[in-house]
Structure 1
């Protein structure tokens, strides 16, 4: 059974408030409006869920934030037998990530040429190393295989499915400050 991600972007609104310290978080947008994928490498890299590539997760197991909005809490608590692994990450953290940081685990990646993108694409495989060392390359069934450690940038591509999420978070951070924007997520399977 697959795991899907759910959640919301929240923002502590500071624009036009008299006392920024007293402003509370508001639900900005449902993650379903921006992200429709199921990328286990990204889930593992960001939140530690289905972490097959062996990343040091950025925001694993934090639960819901203490001052989470009522809308987000109600959505999450509305299906207690279905949802799990609630966590959150702020824009301030995301904007400081070293996207070239490699996974902790060595694995095998397969590469093939994508004519649409004009470059080689890669995908995680569950194949064993079969005696290969880091950096080794070989051909298998017409694909280039490489023993390597996936980087965060490969798991969460700059031009990939997370780009709309980051764009909305950045836009809100530009107005309200990076410390006032966060992504609250959970998973089902």
Structure 2
């Protein structure tokens, strides 16, 4: 059974406020479903520790819903009932300072699979059901026209700048430019 992500980008509006400390509460700015429609366990593991087969030190694992979460987000989460799990959040101030070249703590538990293209080069086609066992990262072998490689991923591999998470980052970046980094966050939960 697969795991799907749900959530919202939240923001505390600070424009037209003389003192940032007078900013109102958090508001649901946009539903994550409008920005991200993927199911990428590498990203889920890197960001939130869910299905972390790639062995990352998660950035924001198990934080739960923020105490001051907006009513709209709490309602959307609560509608999932017992099916919702692994709620967490990460602020733009934290996300914008991540070292995306940081490697995972261990090699991926799934072997990366490549196929030879018409030009003779290898193109990654996905993750194999093969397990690396005691093979170290960097180990490669071929079986027919398939190359298998034990890989230790970086955060950039899991959440590429131009990948499926780019729209989420773009919206958070724009809101942070208007309201300040500490006033923008991503609140998520998962279901199976």
CA deviation string 1:36-66 (max 9, x = no partner): 0000111011000111111100000000111
The alignment partner of 2:86 has SS state of: strand
Say what the alpha-carbon RMSD is for the aligned residues.
2.0
Structure 1 counterpart of 2:20: 20
Structure 2 counterpart of 1:7: 7
Structure 2: tracts of 5 or more residues without a match? none
Q: Where in structure 2 are the equivalents of 1:102-181 lying within 5 Å? A: 102-107=103-108, 108-112=111-115, 120-121=123-124, 123-181=126-184
CA deviation string 1:84-117 (max 9, x = no partner): 11100001111111111111121332234679xx
Choose between structure 1 and 2: higher strand proportion. Answer: 1
Structure 1: tracts of 5 or more residues without a match? none
Query: How many residues are paired up?
Result: 187
The alignment partner of 2:45 has SS state of: helix
TM-score, scaled relative to structure 2 = 0.89
CA deviation string 1:4-42 (max 9, x = no partner): 100000011111113321222111000000000000111
* Cα pair 1:114 1:121 within 8 Å, conserved: no
TM-score, scaled relative to structure 1 = 0.90
Q: Comparing 7-16 with 100-109, which one deviates more in the overlay?
A: 100-109
Structure 1 counterpart of 2:31: 30
The alignment partner of 2:150 has SS state of: strand
Structure 2 CA distance, aligned partners of 1:25 and 1:44?
26
